[in-house]
């Protein structure tokens, strides 16, 4: 219907231009009076019909466009509500890592050099989720590096190992670096940095952005095995 209305408007608009040109070449004054008045009346009636067609067609087109915009806005609103509900109340089987991956996908979908479309409430929830995930990784790092220290330093010392302490320290540092690499291999530092930077643009420096920054800097040291 939308396409038909567009063709109808285009055709009627063309005739509105073409018919007056044709009429201008007709020698109306040479016609007899009844014929002359009938010709003029018919011409006015035809032009009126065409003008009405153009007006009604344009009105229909504008109505259709407005309906499409409203439908798109409603769909977008429903989508954003679904996203917020998902990140705020994830299903039982969804983990923090799943939410982190979901947030990463959203951030990557942002066009470069364009204003992000992520609403404030969703952005804040994404920041909260990535912060939780980073806390978990910090605890995991502490637990795993403590176990590595026990394995490479404490246990050999108790067992009276003859391996030089410097060698054991190097092995410990290598193990800690590998632990760190494994924990940040999913790109959580980059994801958290993108969210933090976007929050700084939106809200300025807040306790949440400072907390994210501290966690980001902390996790950057993982790769050094410190």
Express each pLDDT in 25-52 by its tens digit. Answer: 666 666 666 766 676 677 777 777 777 7
pLDDT of residue 160: 79
pLDDT of residue 77: 47
DSSP conformation letters of 49-85 = HHHHHHHHHHHHHHHHHHHHHHHHHHHHHHHHHHHHH
> Euclidean distance between the first and final Cα of the chain, in Å?
68
Residue of higher predicted confidence among 48 and 152:
152
* pLDDT of 101 higher than 70: no
Q: Which two tokens stand for residue 115?
A: 């204003």
pLDDT digits (tens, 9 = 90+) for 104-146: 666 665 555 444 467 888 888 888 888 888 898 999 999 999 9
Mean pLDDT in residue range 182-200: 87
* pLDDT of 214 higher than 90: yes
């Amino acid at each position: 219907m939308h396409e038909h209305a567009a063709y109808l408007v285009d055709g009627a608009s063309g005739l509105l231009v073409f018919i007056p040109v044709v009429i201008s070449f007709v020698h109306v004054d040479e016609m007899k009076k009844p014929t002359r008045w009938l010709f003029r009346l018919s011409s006015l009636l035809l032009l009126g019909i065409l003008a009405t067609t153009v007006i009604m067609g344009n009105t229909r087109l504008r109505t259709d466009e407005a309906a499409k915009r409203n439908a798109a806005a409603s769909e977008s609103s429903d989508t954003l509500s679904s996203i917020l509900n998902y990140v705020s109340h994830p299903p039982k089987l969804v983990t923090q890592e799943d939410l982190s991956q979901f947030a990463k996908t959203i951030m990557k979908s942002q066009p470069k050099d364009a204003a992000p479309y992520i609403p404030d409430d969703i952005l804040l929830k994404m920041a909260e989720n990535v912060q939780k995930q980073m806390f978990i990784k910090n605890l995991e790092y502490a637990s795993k590096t403590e176990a590595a220290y026990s394995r490479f330093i404490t246990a050999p010392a108790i067992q009276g190992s003859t391996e030089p302490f410097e060698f054991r320290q190097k092995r410990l540092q290598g193990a800690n670096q590998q632990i760190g690499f494994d924990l940040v291999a999913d790109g959580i530092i980059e994801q958290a940095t993108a969210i933090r930077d976007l929050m700084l643009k939106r809200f300025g420096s807040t306790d949440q952005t400072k907390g994210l920054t501290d966690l980001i800097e902390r996790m950057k040291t993982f790769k050094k095995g410190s």
